[in-house]
Structure 1
Amino acid sequence: MSPINRQILHIAIPSIISNITVPLLGLVDVTIVGHLGSASYIGAIAVGGMLFNMIYWIFGFLRMGTGGLTAQAYGQHNTQEGTRILLRSLSVSLLLAQVLLVLQYPIRLIAFMLIDASPEVQELATRYFHICIWGAPATLGLYSFTGWFIGMQNSRYPMYIAITQNIVNIAASLFFVFVLHMKVEGVALGTLIAQYAGVIMAYLLCISHYHPFRQQVRRMQLFERNAMKRFFLVNRDIFLRTLCLVAVTVFFTSTGATYGDVVLAVNTLLMQLFTLFSYIMDGFAYAGEALSGKYTGSNDKIRLHQTVRNLFGWGSAMALLFTLTYLWGGQNFLQLLTNDTEVIAASGTYLLWTVAIPFCGFSAFILDGICIGTTSTRIMLKSMATASTLFFGVYFLCSGSWGNHALWMAFLVYLAVRGLMQGYLLRNKI
């Protein structure tokens, strides 16, 4: 195996494991309240979890922007700037967390105006929300640490942290719910404790492994004007790009609901196939982010191009593997998720759209990582904005005659255009 491929797998495999553990935090919460004897508890956790996913998803730029800038500093062997990037990112994450805490009541009120839930579910979800919101400093701070570790070519620490969070969440939630009989509040406290356990572990790993770096930072240089301007420009582009992504995702779900409960269930289940693929491809995207940033920082064009080629080789292999798996076993996979015969039968009509997802989407994931690593975030934004516009255009043009098929076709166009446009615009950049 070539050195470049070894480096790719060294970062990608732990990142994939970390990604797979992410949904386990929510799954554990749902499983625990599922044994409390009322569907309203499950609904409250589902609503609360969805709300926090949307909030924190928007702030994902903290991880991505920090990772790309840190990888370039790493490639330049500039440990001082690498440390300053972490401290800047942590400062911004804590500031944003304070804003969320101050605005928690209006955020909750606006959210429940948009979410159609029963009064009982709203009451329970409100209790869950007002406990978990205090985890904002830990969650956003962990975004900064995770991005920094990846930029430092270290994806093992985020994996260790993710596994630890799940263990703490399970233990704490079980204790609060089944020993102290706290119900939804106990699940929320378990999640909160797991979030702080994660960020404390990140801090301890950072100061133990990278301790000498702290001595190289001068406070006057930390918020130097040009460095802060670059930091905010990179993160602004990623933030706006994320808003486009959220708009497409929310529209896909809400529009699917207009075609009835069966179609909504089918779309939800089939999107799990996309989500599973995205967990794998995000691992290679993180590798692209770390390695392309490193070689951009060291101005090593040869290895940068080798990295891009090899990443596309891995992406193509994963796309082929998932395409064949979904083609031959997609229906069986859906039967593991539900025993509703009507939903399973209806899913066959749309399954071929999801079979096409891997080859339509793999380049978008790979090039997202490369854009972040090379800090070509404006290219990411332009590509996402164009792809999102085409998504809505294709759907509204074809929905009259194609219905839900138009929604899936628009989604595939959106994935493909992201990758094609990023590749075209990056040609002269790298």
Structure 2
Amino acid sequence: MFEQVLTALIGSVDTIMVTNIGLASISAVSLFDSLNLLIINIFAAMATGGAIICAQYFESNQKGKANQALKQLIFSVTLISILITLPCILFRRPLLSLIFGSEKNVMDNSLNYLFITALSYPFIALYNAGAASFRTSQNSRLPMVIALGSNILNILENFFFVFTLSLGVAQAALSTLLSRIISALIILILLKQPKQNLYIDSCLSL
């Protein structure tokens, strides 16, 4: 639960960081953050469901099948996250108009924020899949440490982009994107270590 709170907190920090920019920026970030939370929870549920299959194989001493199930989980969440990302980017204006119907300044900021944060969806999915696999192998501390480090990095990036460079909403979103990319890369690198109870090799063929 704490790990999921940390994962969701990355987006919430953006709202805090843009409070000095203007009401349009605050509205853009806070409005879309609710949709981001929904998508994060979807990815977390998918990862947990896939990890259950891995756990069943792992507990029955079928490590090869458990690792194969892990590769299928990573492939599946990546594919589904891309299928979610593409329409969010391509149809972001009608999507925001349908959900929020915001005025022009809020809409412009929302479009920029949505475009950048939507790019992070595949990385959120990959992180959740990797974190679920570590929890399956009874190592819940590692993904929680990665999530905590990602939040700290996001705060530092926000300070730099928003306050030092004064780049506004788009750069608040960029700090979120970079934090999620780094989290996903770290957990995938760790999953490629054969010393792990569950791991993926260099070939992700199914």
SS at match of 1:59: helix
Say whether 1:194 aligns with 2:179.
yes
SS at match of 1:60: helix
8 A Cα contact 2:47 2:77, kept in partner: no
Instruction: Output the amino acid matched with 2:36.
Output: F
Q: CA RMSD in A?
A: 2.3
TM-score, normalised relative to structure 1: 0.44
Q: What are the within-5 Å matches in structure 2 for residues 367-386 of structure 1?
A: none
The equivalent residue for 1:121 is 106
Distance apart, 1:51 and its partner CA: 2.0
Task: Give per-residue Cα distances to partners, 1:121-144, cap 9 Å, x unaligned.
Answer: 111011001111111221111121
8 A Cα contact 1:149 1:155, kept in partner: yes
Structure with more relative contact order (C-alpha pairs < 8 Å, separation 6 or more): 2
Q: Identify the match of residue 56 of structure 2 among 53, 65, 72.
A: 72
Q: What are the within-5 Å matches in structure 2 for residues 175-190 of structure 1?
A: 175-190=160-175
The equivalent residue for 1:157 is 142
Instruction: Give the whole-Å Cα distance in 2 for the aligned partners of 1:26 and 1:55.
Output: 12
Instruction: Give the whole-Å Cα distance in 2 for the aligned partners of 1:119 and 1:130.
Output: 16
Instruction: Output the amino acid matched with 2:137.
Output: M
50-59 vs 65-74, which deviates more?
Answer: 50-59
Q: What are the within-5 Å matches in structure 2 for residues 11-410 of structure 1?
A: 16-36=1-21, 38-103=22-87, 104-208=89-193, 209-210=195-196, 213-214=199-200, 223=206
Distance apart, 1:199 and its partner CA: 0.4
Instruction: Give the whole-Å Cα distance in 2 for the aligned partners of 1:197 and 1:218.
Output: 21
Task: Give per-residue Cα distances to partners, 1:240-299, cap 9 Å, x unaligned.
Answer: xxxxxxxxxxxxxxxxxxxxxxxxxxxxxxxxxxxxxxxxxxxxxxxxxxxxxxxxxxxx
Instruction: Output the amino acid matched with 2:24.
Output: S
Gaps of 5+ in 1: 1-15, 224-430
Structure richer in helix, relative to its length? 1
Larger radius of gyration: 1
Q: Where does structure 1 differ by over 6 angstroms across 4 or more consecutive aligned residues?
A: none
Percent identity of equivalent pairs: 22
8 A Cα contact 2:43 2:124, kept in partner: no
Instruction: Give the whole-Å Cα distance in 2 for the aligned partners of 1:137 and 1:44.
Output: 22
Q: 1:32 to 1:119 in 2, by over 3 A?
A: same
Q: 1:27 to 1:53 in 2, by over 3 A?
A: closer
Task: Give per-residue Cα distances to partners, 1:94-146, cap 9 Å, x unaligned.
Answer: 21232233322225522431223222111101100111111122111112112
Gaps of 5+ in 2: none
Instruction: Output the amino acid matched with 1:132.
Output: T
Task: Give per-residue Cα distances to partners, 1:33-78, cap 9 Å, x unaligned.
Answer: 0122x11111111122112222333333321212211111121122
Instruction: Give the whole-Å Cα distance in 1 for the aligned partners of 2:153 and 2:95.
Output: 31
